Chains A and B, each alone.
Chain A
Amino acid sequence: MTEKASGITEPQPRGAVIRGNHPVDQSEAAGRFMAAPIHQKMHDARLWDLRQKRDAEMHIIPEWEDLRQLASDIKQHTLTHLDQYLEQFETNAKVNGIHVHWAKDGQEHNSIVLEILKKHGAKKLIKSKSMLTEECDFRHSMAENGISVIETDLGERIQQLDGEMPSHVVVPAVHKLRSDVAQVFSKTLGTDPDNDDVHYLTEQQRETTRPLILDADAGMTGCNFAVAETGTVVVCTNEGNADLSANTPPLHIVSMGIEKVIPRLDDLPVFVRMLSRSALGSPITQYTSHFRGPRKGGEMHIVLVDNGRTTRLGMEKFWTSLKCIRCGACMNTCPVFRRSGGLSYGATYAGPIGLILDPTFNKHKYRNLPFASTMNGSCTNVCPVKINIHEQIADWRKELASVGEIPFAKKAMMKAAGEILASPKLYRAGLPLANSTLRHLPRFMLYNRLNTWGRGREMPHAPRETFHQWYARNRAGKKKDVSE
């Protein structure tokens, strides 16, 4: 062991077990994350620190709440005129010399990109971070077709080397300790497994990745905002890796979800002022790059991807989730996310926004996710575009229950509870008798295999009588009944 070693040997807990279309068991994976206390504690502290930095930045801006409303209104307007702004964007992008493609889903996105690469004889692609390409399972698809893909965002590169999905939309490897990264790099880049000094690890990654960047045939970026009136694309990063990806090779491909469009350049600052403040508690990302067209001798393509977005736009209770700008503030503030790790959700999107996006892709597979929440509402109130996340979580529970996507035992228990609670006689009959040892919760909560109260908590002490009995004894004259 070197002087640079942290000495941490706790292995990294892995994410949710994925079994085809079976419902993902988030709480099982969260349990394993919490069983790794060094990881769990670090994860909670790191993300809570981001939340606190976000609060500090918010207090610097007197008009913060007005900005949130404005951002929400701009998105609302754009989404309700989406066809119009997308066509305007396409027209202006073409005027700028950009090739524009439309993809109805992830598969079509991947085929379009593959066609472009083939036309240029490109085999080596570098890319910056993009949640949309995660939706499209882009890297696997390219690998199957003989295209090598290198992630240029450091966190995303770590995740790629480790064969894991990003666990957070902004800080994809936030669940890892440096000792975990040392293990990954030692296996994939040949670094010293006992040296987890961050400078050493970063330098090694840089030394091994730079040649791949310089050697690439094509570059891909995501898109944070697309401006309809100018036909330009804006990408925000802290590492400048979108610029590396777009400007090093002669071919630049942009993957863009159709909800990323905003009407005017004047609308952009509203979002730029809030994006990094909400995400990391920094005033602005280090790089806010505007891509206005192909550079001399180069070629630029934009692939506009739907992948379920127009369907979502038609969902009365859930369409405003399309306002999301992927800042991750809801994840940082979520007490469940901080304690379970993003990979426990087993889906492209983790945390509160994931709970309301993932079921739009697959109601069965992600049916447990909307229940991984206390519905405390912190997410809704940090959201820079004012998505009513916790209310949509509640609405998803109703939606899932109404289409039979909640476990039978849970449904049966709620049906029984509903019948007992609607009848004063049944309800009173089901309560533990007074003056006996009241050791447990009421029967309808207790006598089923789902009761787990006592595992981590003590049972309350037994009172001598219920309030109901006390009232009958002390205020008997005031009896008030309604007939059943």
Chain B
Amino acid sequence: MKVGLFVPCYVDMLHPEVGVATLELLERFGLDVEYPQDQTCCGQPMVNTGCEKEAAATEALFVRNFEQYDYVVMPSGSCTNQVRNNMTAVEQTDAVKHVRSRTYELVEFLHDVLKVEEFPWAEFPHKVALHNNCNTLRNLRIASMTERREEFFSKPIDLLSKVRGLEIVKLSRPDECCGFGGTFSVFEEGISAKMGHDKAMDQQASGAQYVTSSDGSCLLHQEGCARRAGTDVKYIHIAQILNGARA
């Protein structure tokens, strides 16, 4: 199984350790993982701003980078959603269709494709609050949502429950958006930051020592808000916990 690793731009630049953890974690399962070095972005900033035409060349580059892999895996639900559900600016060739249908967010890849039973190396003796990115939750359906009348399920909690010592704590508004919203965080800064501060306070009140998520963009925003608000909750990507980070 040949896997292409996509590292979102903000992870590459601001949290390279998340990319490293994702790569090492996938390698632990004996996969042949490559990081195509000409990768840039999935096209989401332009598409989310309505500028679909402006995204076409970036989408085409993404497909050229990843068309030869069996799977494309990335530590980001919103980038996965862009590729799988919204990558329509580029002409829908067989290569494009292949890439779109074979792109997975890390948690669902571990849960649904690899069907991982255990993480013997993982131990995280802390109280952890889970944040599900909205795209991951409501578009990729990585977990049940409180808006719907449906049986509880959660792929990230399934995986985290295999980590020794980890205790999940509940938030008062578990599904509430944190306000990142991609370009929303820049264009609608006031509401975005307010939502982030409210989220940080909810996380603090939950007694969590750490917040984890399968999406680094939400964490980046939440951590920025939490540091400004002066809370002492720490933020860590789920790839790092599953790869054996202790703190």
Contact = CB atoms under 8 A, between A and B. Distances in A.
B64 interface: yes
Contact of A333 (B60, B147, B150): B147
B17 interface: yes
B37 A471 contact: yes
A381 B145 contact: yes
A414 B194 contact: no
B228 A335 contact: no
B51 A457 contact: no
A22 interface: no
Contact of A374 (B10, B150, B181, B224): B181
A200 interface: no
Given A374-B184, A421-B41, A463-B15, A471 B35 contact: yes
A427 B45 contact: no
A319 interface: no
Interface in A461-476: 463, 465-472, 475
B46 interface: yes
B138 A424 contact: no
A441 B15 CA distance: 12
Nearest to B18: A467
A424 B191 contact: no
Interface residues of B, number: 82
Interface in A422-436: 422-424, 427, 431-432
Interface stretch (A123-131, A136-144, A245-253, A446-454): A446-454
B180 A374 contact: yes
A479 B225 CA distance: 37
Q: Give the interface centre of B16, B19, B36, B64 by most chain A CB atoms within 10 Å.
A: B16
B187 interface: yes
B7, B41, B50, B147, most chain A CB atoms within 10 A: B50
A300 to B, nearest CB: 40
Residue among B134, B147, B220 with most chain A CB within 10 A: B147
Interface stretch (B112-120, B153-161, B171-179, B205-213): B171-179
Interface in B139-197: 139, 145-150, 173, 175-177, 179-182, 184-197
Nearest to B65: A482
A400 interface: yes
A89 B233 CA distance: 60
B195 A401 contact: no
Given A457-B224, A480-B35, A30 B190 contact: yes
B49 interface: yes
B61 to A, nearest CB: 5
A339 B36 CA distance: 42
A398 B134 CA distance: 20
Interface in A347-374: 370-374
Contacts of A3: none
B134 A460 contact: no
B228 A458 contact: yes
A19 interface: no
B19 A470 contact: yes
A482 B224 CA distance: 35
B13 A380 contact: no
A455 interface: yes
A457 B225 contact: yes
Contact of B40 (A374, A414, A427): A427
A381 B58 contact: no
A192 B117 CA distance: 69
Contact of B16 (A48, A466, A480): A466
Contact of A417 (B45, B148, B176, B196): B45
B223 interface: yes
B35 to A, nearest CB: 5
Interface in A82-129: none
Nearest to B195: A335
Q: Name, among B137, B187, B228, the residue most crowded by chain A CB atoms within 10 Å (CB to CB).
A: B187
Given A65-B150, A377-B138, A372 B9 contact: no
Interface string B36-58: 11111101011111111111111
A470 B180 contact: no
A378 B191 contact: no
A64 B11 contact: no
Contacts of B146: 55
B246 interface: no
Interface residues of A, number: 85
B132 to A, nearest CB: 11
Nearest to B55: A418
Contacts of B225: 456-457
A458 B186 contact: no
Contacts of B179: 335, 374
B190 A27 contact: yes
B102 to A, nearest CB: 17
Nearest to A446: B186
Contacts of B15: 460, 463
Contacts of A411: 51
Nearest to B22: A467
Contacts of A480: 34-37
Contacts of B149: 58-59, 61-62, 64-65
A38 interface: no
Nearest to A425: B38
B1 interface: no
Contacts of A199: none
Given A339-B195, A374-B179, A458-B228, A397 B186 contact: no
Nearest to A335: B177
A420 B9 CA distance: 12
Interface in A223-274: none
A5 interface: no
A478 B138 contact: no
B51 A482 contact: no
B191 A339 contact: yes
Contacts of A375: 48, 134, 181, 184
Contacts of A456: 189-190, 192-194, 196-197, 225, 228
In the complex, the 5 A-B pairs of residues with the closest C-beta atoms, listed nearest first: A456-B193, A397-B50, A374-B181, A457-B224, A422-B57
Given A370-B50, A398-B52, A421-B45, 14 more contacts: A27-B190, A30-B190, A55-B146, A64-B149, A374-B184, A378-B134, A381-B138, A410-B187, A415-B51, A421-B41, A424-B40, A441-B10, A458-B227, A481-B36
Interface of B: 7, 9-17, 19-20, 23, 34-41, 43, 45-58, 60-61, 64-65, 86, 134-135, 137-139, 145-150, 173, 175-177, 179-182, 184-198, 220-221, 223-225, 227-228
7 contacts: A34-B190, A371-B188, A381-B147, A402-B50, A419-B57, A453-B224, A457-B228
